[in-house]
Amino acid sequence: VGSKRNPIIVETEKYFFVAPDNGVLSLVLTDKFTAYKITNGKPESTTFHGRDVFAPVAAKLASGIQVSSLSKPVSSIVRYLFSSPKKIVDGILGEVVDVDHFGNVITNISRSLANSDKFVVEIKRRTIDRISKTYEGKKPIAIWGSSDLLELSVPNGSFAEIFKVHRGDKVTIKFQLKEDC
């Protein structure tokens, strides 16, 4: 909010994204995209970029205004490289890509890659044996987050702090046979 990072528009084959140039779009970018620095002529906002910059630009793009009237192309943007999860014999090997401010652990394992909720999650010698639909209870849970990535959480606690989990730590999901479930 109000920092020196550039406000940008990223155009992919299907979508426009409006965001700060801080790497936040790294997980959604494909190889084919064009990036632009927002230069819509308004005085620079120093407080609420979401309200003062990003929302108005997104609304203009949605209404059909050309990206060239709002911005100028840039040759590079901040990107973070994340490893891709790998299919293994009995599951998927992924890793922690983020820890949010609640201490929830976000992995790079997507719901579409897992294609099932019949698996156990293993991280740092800890096993979670089911996918939860809510943040209820007291035990550690695995849950599909709002971006459809597997997240690990402790309701009313910090999974990352309790289990000493950090970015880059390995996470394995092991599929169960139907009769085991």
Q: For 16-42, give one letter per residue: b (16+ CB within 10 A) or e.
A: ebbbbbeeebebeeeeeeebbebeeee
Going by pLDDT thresholds of 50, 70 and 90, the confidence category of residue 106 is: very high
pLDDT of residue 167: 92
Q: Spelled out in words, what is the top-level CATH class assigned to the domain 7-74?
A: alpha beta
Task: Give the model confidence (pLDDT) of 88-103 as tens digits.
Answer: 999 999 999 999 999 9
Question: Bigger pLDDT: 40 or 168?
Answer: 168
pLDDT of residue 146: 85
Read off the pLDDT of each residue in 15-21 and give the average, rounded to a whole number. Answer: 92
Q: Do domains 7-74 and 86-180 have the same CATH topology?
A: no
Read off the pLDDT of each residue in 131-157 and give the average, rounded to a whole number. Answer: 92
Helix (H, G, I), strand (E, B) or coil at 16: strand
Q: Kindly report the CATH number that applies to the domain delimited by 86-180.
A: 2.40.30.90
pLDDT of residue 179: 52
Q: Which residue, chain included where needed, has tokens 């205004």?
A: 65
Q: Is there a contact between 142 and 149 (Cβ–Cβ < 8 Å)? A: no
Going by pLDDT thresholds of 50, 70 and 90, the confidence category of residue 178 is: low
Strand order in the sheet with 33-38: 16-20, 7-12, 33-38, 71-74
- Bridge-based pairing state of the strands 149-153 and 170-175: unpaired
Question: What angle is formed at CA 96 by the lines to CA 111 and CA 99, rounded to 5 degrees?
Answer: 105
Domain ranges for the chain, please list them: 7-74, 86-180
Read off the pLDDT of each residue in 34-44 and give the average, rounded to a whole number. Answer: 80
- Of 92, 84, 107, 86, whose CA–CA distance to 153 is shortest? 107
pLDDT of residue 181: 46
pLDDT of residue 177: 64
